[in-house]
């Protein structure tokens, strides 16, 4: 089965969604509180200003999390090869991408996971041209302790499968799905890489990340009640379909590699 399912905005749609000019795609008002149908980022609800200060919107149509003042953690499939890159704009510090108080930074370097070929190893770091020191960063999980339970997902991606990108950050919660269940014939039939991918979602569907949420964080509270990142939005069949939970890069598995790469980038 072809993995077209990466949750990045592709092609001409991505080109149209830039942080410099959000355009008509992002000019829609936030979804009404009485939205029909199940809760979805596909659904969910609009985040409040300052609720997730580490959230980042990237100009290629992906999400990310502020790993350090000058580094954004995102998905490998959102970026090109490792090297100098000044083409990406990051928008930070706001729920509303059209807000006049938004913070923007250009990239100056991209580090994509070594050996990434489109299956697994779906993580990357983007170095910003200047640091953002006024926002909280999102620590990553370094052990599998937090790779279970209920997670929070957030992003500016489509609120329905095939839908438009969102102007306002949306959030939802999803439960952990075990590797055995996620790889069952009823779900992904062995396609999930159990060693370094983690699934989350409902058997009945209805709540999920979607196109445009790629690279964004999946996170939960740690033992000190602080946010910690456990996943990176990677792929899935459609959005919020029954028996098709979201599949995320398992951050704890790659934590040593991420930290080593961040150190080499000065982060």
State percent of the chain over pLDDT 90. Answer: 81
pLDDT reported for residue 43? 67
Distance CA 244, CA 70 (A): 35
pLDDT reported for residue 42? 85
Asked if pLDDT for residue 16 goes beyond 50, the answer is: no
Mean pLDDT along residues 122-142: 98
pLDDT reported for residue 267? 85
pLDDT reported for residue 41? 80
pLDDT tens for residues 221-239?
999 999 999 999 999 999 9
pLDDT reported for residue 249? 98
pLDDT tens for residues 85-116?
999 999 999 999 999 999 999 999 999 999 99
Q: Which CATH class is domain 144-252?
A: mainly beta
Asked if pLDDT for residue 158 goes beyond 60, the answer is: yes
Q: Which residues have a catalytic role annotated?
A: 77, 122, 214
Q: In the chain, what are the domain boundaries?
A: 144-252
Global pTM reads 0.88
pLDDT reported for residue 44? 87
The mean predicted confidence, pLDDT, of the chain is 88
């Amino acid at each position: 089965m072809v993995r077209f399912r990466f949750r990045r905005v592709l092609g001409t749609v991505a080109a149209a969604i830039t942080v410099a000019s959000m355009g008509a795609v992002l000019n829609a008002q936030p979804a009404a509180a009485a939205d029909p149908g199940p809760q979805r980022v596909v659904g969910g609800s609009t985040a409040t200003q300052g609720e997730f200060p580490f959230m980042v919107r990237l100009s290629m149509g992906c999400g990310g999390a502020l790993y350090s003042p000058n580094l954004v953690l995102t998905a490998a499939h959102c970026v090109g090869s490792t090297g100098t890159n000044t083409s990406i704009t990051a928008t930070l510090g706001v729920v509303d991408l059209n807000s006049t108080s938004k913070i923007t930074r250009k990239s100056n370097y991209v580090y994509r996971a070594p050996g990434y070929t489109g299956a697994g190893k779906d993580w990357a770091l983007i170095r910003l041209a200047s640091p953002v020191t006024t926002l909280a960063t999102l620590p990553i999980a370094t052990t599998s302790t937090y790779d279970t339970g209920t997670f929070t997902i957030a992003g500016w991606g489509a609120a329905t499968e095939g839908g438009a990108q969102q102007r306002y950050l949306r959030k939802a919660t999803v439960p952990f799905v075990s590797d055995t269940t996620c790889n069952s014939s009823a779900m992904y039939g062995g396609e999930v890489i159990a060693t370094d991918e983690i699934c989350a979602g409902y058997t009945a569907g209805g709540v999920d990340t979607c196109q445009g949420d790629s690279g964004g964080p999946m996170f939960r509270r740690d033992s000190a009640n602080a946010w910690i990142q456990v996943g990176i939005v990677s792929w899935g069949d459609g959005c919020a379909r029954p028996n098709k939970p979201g599949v995320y890069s398992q951050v704890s598995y790659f934590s040593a590699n991420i930290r080593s790469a961040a150190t080499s980038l000065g982060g």
